[in-house]
A and B are shown apart, each in its own frame.
Chain A
Amino acid sequence: MKLYDYILSPSCYKVRLLAALLGIPLELRAVDFHPGGEHRTPALLALNPAGSIPILEDDDLRLTESAAMLVYLASLKSSDWLGRDTAAEAARTEQWLSFAQRLTASLGGARLCEMLLRPGDLAALQAAGIAALRELEAALVEQRLRGERFLVADRPTIADIACFPYVALAPDGSVSLDPYPSIRLWLRAVRALPGFIEMPGIHRLHELKPEPVHGAEGEPA
């Protein structure tokens, strides 16, 4: 399975992250998104006329939407991650997959303005991002009241993976995460999952590993 990938892309990271959590090996093909603009070259446009990444290829299957990639990976390995146990759960999962597109447009748009100096109305993107974060916080408050740590259940699903990266990287677009205690705990719960991997700007939970002991190993003789 081959992923056309860019290390700083939160949408590519969604796919890398879920693959890591599920133990699915990926062949990564790095795309020079910035500064090269390789996603707009004829070779990449031939794979995805929309000119976006990620692109996932598996045999004759070619996917260009990250939500579909999450569904595919989860379907290969584990129905638990699909978030489709009941009709209501399936609908809530779909709701969050669509909501994730709002996060991409708002928080992701602000991030592109701030990090890659792309044109855009930064203040409007940040305001839309804050509105989305408030919605997410309110939903997570209700989940906590129900005794559930994740977006649609007390177990992680593709809904969490779809929303996690752009929320975690909101500060890249100068949108603070300080006002959201339930989002903070949810981000932590995702980062605590076995098999979690990092991307630049999203680090692992160092406290889950014991404190390194100086000279205990790897010291030259």
Chain B
Amino acid sequence: MPSTDAAPLTPLALSEDLPPATVMPIWTPEGPMALWRSVGGTLSLAADRCPHRGMRLSHGFVRGEALSCIYHGWSYDQGGRCLRIPAHPDLEPPASIRVATGSVLEAGGVIWRARADDPSLPPDFPGFVPLRSLSFAVSRDVISRTLGGESAGPGILKGTLAGSAVILLCAEQAEGTSLIHLLAPADATLDQRIAVSRAAETLRRAAETGTTEAAA
């Protein structure tokens, strides 16, 4: 793990952005992954590469409890084992055909990458609910300086946007970019939530253009 702050858990996505029967791409330090939720609601994380022809599984589709590749329909269960090869309908796929998988946890509307060797539970943010995720073309440090907030743990910033207290969960991405999961007060009105979302856009413009003015 190249992570410098040894965060036990990395925030991957917001629960609302991954309804049942969908898949989304996730960048991790080990490589691209496909995060998917089955029709029954089970979350899984798989390497984003079909072992057959290398197609991204995040381009695929979720039917029932399996993730299928868009290219030739090879489908995989939550443990990464190949269940079905449509071109060979009578073949039981050998157990050696599988995709690497990772552990995930979901709490408070946030999906976290867990480490198999670490029993940590995701942090709790009472009084806050997820608002949206945004990608920034700058590092977490630049975002932190621009926000002018305070650190509240590894990869966690507290600050103010549009007059509302906010929490930013930061995940380092490829090439010095960052993925931010923005949490807003649970009691914020619709207008306040929209204002916070817009202020996050302003924060991003400021961070990416090197403006030091806080977006609050």
Q: Which A residue's beta carbon lies closest to that of B191? A: A145
- Nearest CB on B from A113, distance (A): 21
- Nearest CB on A from B34, distance (A): 11
Which of A38-46, A74-82, A162-170, A177-185 is found at the contact surface with chain B?
A177-185
Which of B13-21, B117-125, B142-150, B156-164 is found at the contact surface with chain A?
B13-21
Residues of A within 8 A of B19 (CB): 185
Is the Cβ of B89 less than 8 Å from the Cβ of A207? no
Q: Does B112 contact A (CB under 8 A)?
A: no
Is the Cβ of B194 less than 8 Å from the Cβ of A181? no
Within 8 A of B (CB), among A183-221: 184-185, 188, 203, 205-207, 211-212, 214-215
> CB < 8 Å: which of A179, A182, A207 contacts B63?
A207
Contact flag A178-B25 (CB < 8 Å), given A142-B197, A145-B193, A207-B63 = yes
Is the Cβ of A182 less than 8 Å from the Cβ of B190? no
Per the CB 8 Å criterion, the residue count for chain B at the interface is 30
Q: Could you tell me the dominant secondary structure of chain A's interface residues?
A: helix
Within 8 A of A (CB), among B182-211: 190, 193-194, 197-198, 201
Q: Does B132 contact A (CB under 8 A)?
A: yes
Q: Does B78 contact A (CB under 8 A)?
A: no
Q: Does A146 contact B (CB under 8 A)?
A: yes
Is the Cβ of B197 less than 8 Å from the Cβ of A138? yes
Complex Cα spacing A23 to B153, Å = 56
Q: Which A residue's beta carbon lies closest to that of B14? A: A181
Q: Does A134 contact B (CB under 8 A)?
A: yes
Q: Which B residue's beta carbon lies closest to that of A209? A: B63
Q: Which A residue's beta carbon lies closest to that of B179? A: A179
Q: Does B133 contact A (CB under 8 A)?
A: yes
Interface residues of chain B, those whose CB is within 8 Å of chain A, are 13-14, 16-17, 19, 21-22, 24-25, 27, 61-64, 68, 70, 86, 89-90, 132-135, 179, 190, 193-194, 197-198, 201
List 5 interface pairs A-B (beta carbons < 8 Å), by A numbering.
A178-B27, A181-B14, A184-B22, A207-B61, A214-B89
